[in-house]
Amino acid sequence: TQHTLIRQSSRSNVRLRPIPNHQLTHYVRSSTLYINPHSHSLQCPNRPHSERDSRKEISDSIYISVEFSSNPVREKQRKMVANQPEKEHPVPAFGLAARDPSGVLSPFNFSRRATGEKDVKFKVMYCGICHSDLHMVKNEWGTSTYPLVPGHEIVGEVTEVGSQVEKFKVGDRVGVGCMVGSCRSCDNCSNGVENYCPKMILTYAGTYHDGTITYGGYSNVMVCDEHFVVRVPDALPLDAAAPLLCAGITLYSPLRYYGLDKPGIHVGVVGLGGLGHVGVKFAKAMGAKVTVISTSPAKKQEAIERHGADSFLVSRDQEQMQAAMGTLDGIIDTVSAVHPIMPLIGLLKTHGKLVLVGAPEKPLELPVFPLLMGRKIVGGSCIGGMKETQEMLDFAAKHNITADIEVISADYVNTAMERLEKGDVKYRFVIDVAKTLQQG
């Protein structure tokens, strides 16, 4: 395989020669975008809908590297066994997989590894449908491998634990989110932010330590290292807790990290979808005054009456936006389509923070004067570490926070995906796996 570094600057288009494999150095995953469909690399779970052409947009604007497997033998092995997913591992499993970028899901038989010393095996009860699942089944980010079993908002009951497992026992109610592995030794891993580890392994369409592809929660059983399993508190219903494993932590983490969790603070949430509605609930529970910012005036009533937001701004209404300038301490922006951030920066008070958790693929325009004159910041955030995910669930249990869900049967999943694409869901679909997922 070839490795090509492509750089494009404003001064010249430079395409360097392909670099021979032996001369390549390790790439820091968090700073490069891999677009090789064979690469097993960092993907942000919250990246947005995009056109196929956006790959070219991406390569036009950033340093990209096309990765090759650091272990050629593994690559070959993977290709071989990928044709025999049922035989890869000793434990039979079944689920729903997309076979190609049409994204249509169909019954799929495969296998899970035997429960290792540190592993937890659990029967999947429910799995939330995250918008990222939709992007991935359609290979919209160019990183998907097929067959692809999505699902990273997984909850269930423990059926077996490895001999060295200390935190869980059979019968426990547990969950798994967006990650199932990391290097466990770098600074990020040591500081409880495994989500920023360069070798973080995604719950699905990733490559596990043993070289095999990871399959997600649209399946009957999961086997996961105990470090990446969280306990679902008894006070939380399993089905409505599932979406917290991605949507919940994606909002909880930046509210804490960027200091937007102090009582009395005024926080804006942009976008009232799967992420946004959970964000409003967390922010309110942390004592904030919350303003929802949305393009749809129709969402106002729900935002205020159902989710508890204090006010609502229609972002296309110039007058409303003008009147609200300089009123927000922070904004969490869940919108992943390209949109202007200048009006959002204008809504911030001096020292205000705009935090993006949805990532548009095209760069956005950053007006520098307002940033400097008000010492404001624009930052990002991507899910959260394992310790924080558990903390988030405990916080949700204490404050009675769950997602607003529509529970569906497994055979409805393709229709659900179509409705999700149109934003037609209040506010997360959750698949009733245990009762409706059947073997292929």
Q: Please report, as ranges, the residues that interact with other proteins according to CB under 8 A.
A: 5, 7, 9-11, 14, 16, 25, 27-28, 30-33, 42, 44, 46-47, 61-63, 65, 188, 193, 196, 198, 257, 341-342, 350-351, 353, 356-361, 363-382
* Residues in Cβ contact with 397 at an 8 Å cutoff, skipping those fewer than 6 apart: 233, 234, 235, 236
Please state, as a whole number, how many other Cβ atoms lie within 10 Å of the Cβ of residue 57.
15
In the complex, least distance from residue 425 CB atom to other proteins, rounded to whole angstroms: 23
* Residues in Cβ contact with 247 at an 8 Å cutoff, skipping those fewer than 6 apart: 128, 130, 153, 274, 275, 278, 403, 428
DSSP 13-67: EEEPPPBPGGG-----GGG-B---TT------TT-----TTHHHHHHHHS-EE--
d(CA 10, CA 14): 10
In the complex, least distance from residue 251 CB atom to other proteins, rounded to whole angstroms: 13
Looking at the Cβ atoms of 298 and 372, the one nearer to other proteins is 372
Closest CA to 428 of 408, 403, 402: 403
One-letter amino acid at 320 equals Q
Looking at the Cβ atoms of 122 and 196, the one nearer to other proteins is 196
Q: What angle do CA 33, 57, 1 make, to 5 degrees?
A: 45
Task: Kindly report the backbone phi and psi dihedral angles of residue 422, in degrees, each rounded to the nearest multiple of 5, phi listed first.
Answer: -95, 5
* Residues in Cβ contact with 369 at an 8 Å cutoff, skipping those fewer than 6 apart: none
In the complex, least distance from residue 379 CB atom to other proteins, rounded to whole angstroms: 3
What does each C-alpha distance from 37 to 144, 206, 381 come to in angstroms?
6, 11, 25
Looking at the Cβ atoms of 90 and 340, the one nearer to other proteins is 340
Looking at the Cβ atoms of 114 and 342, the one nearer to other proteins is 342
In the complex, least distance from residue 279 CB atom to other proteins, rounded to whole angstroms: 15
8 Å CB contact between 252 and 286: no
Looking at the Cβ atoms of 146 and 257, the one nearer to other proteins is 257
In the complex, least distance from residue 132 CB atom to other proteins, rounded to whole angstroms: 12
Looking at the Cβ atoms of 2 and 350, the one nearer to other proteins is 350
In the complex, least distance from residue 376 CB atom to other proteins, rounded to whole angstroms: 6
Report the run of H or E that residue 392 belongs to, with start and end.
helix 386-398
Tokens of 146: 């097929």
Report the chain's C-alpha Rg in angstroms. Answer: 22
Tokens of 28: 């820091």
Looking at the Cβ atoms of 51 and 424, the one nearer to other proteins is 51
Looking at the Cβ atoms of 277 and 376, the one nearer to other proteins is 376
In the complex, least distance from residue 437 CB atom to other proteins, rounded to whole angstroms: 32
In the complex, least distance from residue 349 CB atom to other proteins, rounded to whole angstroms: 10
Tokens of 217: 């929660």
In the complex, least distance from residue 77 CB atom to other proteins, rounded to whole angstroms: 28
Looking at the Cβ atoms of 5 and 407, the one nearer to other proteins is 5
